[in-house]
Structure 1
Amino acid sequence: MEIKNSHVVLDACCVLNLCASGHLLKIIQSIPAKVVITEVVRARELLTLQRLVNENNQDINPFESAIETGLLTVADFNSEAEEETFVNYASQLRDDGESATCAIAMHRDWAIATDDKKAIAFFQQEAPHLQIFSTLAMIKNWSEVENISKETLRSSLNAIKTWGRYIPHRGHPLLHWWENLLR
């Protein structure tokens, strides 16, 4: 996983999937850039992630731990231009998290991580110079960097499928990798 930018901004769907994997902190540590979420995503996703933690009977929310330890940084708008771009994107995307992610990434020249096909198409049109990563790209990177066993990887992908309710779309470049591991 080669990231050309200093930072990668995770959209809510990726945060949820990485948390569902059971290995959020390790996956973030394997990413060769500073990992960021927007304040919009942090504020809105805490409730969804708390539900996930409760359903899995976990004592600690890994999302909160990642923020507390500094592995995951929270970025808020720091200019009127970022806020204006956010409002414009929100009117088109109809999703505040994706809009905030793209607005901040675009103005700061940071990479983006999302699994939403509509958002990916939008980002490619609005900010074609930015790299876009997916949950699977980050999971595959983690598995390669840390030499994760197939059993652990399969378990993580099944957890993402079950708890994150994620299945890669038909045209996803890592679909065959996903399918082979889940067999």
Structure 2
Amino acid sequence: MQIVHSHLILDACCVLNFCASGQLLAILKSIPVQVAVTQVVREQELKTLQRLESEENDGATQFEAAIAQSLLITVDFESEEEAESFVNYAAILGDGESATGAIAVNREWAIATDDKRAISFFRKETPQIQVLSTLEIVKHWSEEAGVDSPTLRYVLNLIRVKARYMAPKSDPLRSWWETAMK
């Protein structure tokens, strides 16, 4: 996985998937550029992850550790253009996707999202911005770390069950997902 931008900004769905995997820190360490989340996503996801804590999920702890270790930085709007883009995108997308996209587009950063509408929108409107998915990043991590098949199957199953994620039929890595889950 080659990232052609200086930063990768994660949308909420990817944060949840990586936290559900139990491997957030390892996944972030495998990404070859600085990884960020917006303040909007951080606030939303921390609340979601804290609610999940009662289900023996250490996602909130991993999330905060990632921030403390600077594996994940939090960014907010720094210009009128970013704020204006956020408002414009929010007419079409959710707040997390809009904030993530507004910052990515204005700073020329890559985006990681699994939201179909966001993927379609950003690929059409801003083709110069690289859009990555949970599967691309998890596959990269598994290859970089030399993760064995049973561990990969376990991690993907955690993502499927805890984050309620299923690889879309249209995803080019769907067959990789299905093979790894066997």
TM-score by length of 1: 0.96
| Deviation beyond 6 Å, 4+ runs, structure 1 | none
How far, CA to CA, are the matches of 2:12 and 2:57 in structure 1?
21
**Corresponding residue for 1:128?**
127
What does residue 30 of structure 1 align with? 30
Q: Which amino acid aligns with 1:124?
A: R
Tell me the equivalent position of 1:163: 162
1:45-84 matches, cutoff 5 A? 45-58=45-58, 61-84=61-84
Q: Which runs of 5+ in 2 are unaligned?
A: none
Per-residue CA distance 1:21-46 (angstroms, 9 max, x = gap) = 00000000000110000011001111
Q: What are structure 1's unaligned runs of at least 5 residues? A: none
Question: What's 2:90 paired with?
Answer: 90
Report the alpha carbon displacement of residue 54 of structure 1 after superposing the two structures with TM: 2.7
How large is the Cα RMSD of the aligned pairs? 1.2
Supply the distance in 2 between the matched residues of 1:124 and 1:89 (Cα, whole angstroms).
14
Aligned partners of 1:152, 1:16: CA distance in 2, in Å?
19
Note the 1:134-145 alignment, pairs <5 A.
134-145=133-144
Amino acid at match of 2:17: N
Q: 3-state SS of the aligned residue for 1:3?
A: coil
- Partner residue of 1:39? 39
Q: Comparing 40-49 with 155-164, which one deviates more in the overlay?
A: 40-49
- Partners of 2:174 and 2:60 in 1: CA distance: 31
- Describe the SS at the equivalent of 1:92: coil
Alignment of structure 1 residues 9-28 onto 2, 5 Å: 9-28=9-28
Shift of 1:151: 1.0
Residues paired across the two proteins, number: 182
Q: Contact 1:82 / 1:103 at 8 angstroms: preserved in 2?
A: yes
Q: Deviations over 1:8-64 (max 9, x none)?
A: 000000000000000000000000110000011001111111123331254961011
Cα deviation, 1:123-155, whole Å, max 9, x if unaligned, reads: 112211011100111100001111011111110
Percentage identity across aligned positions? 54
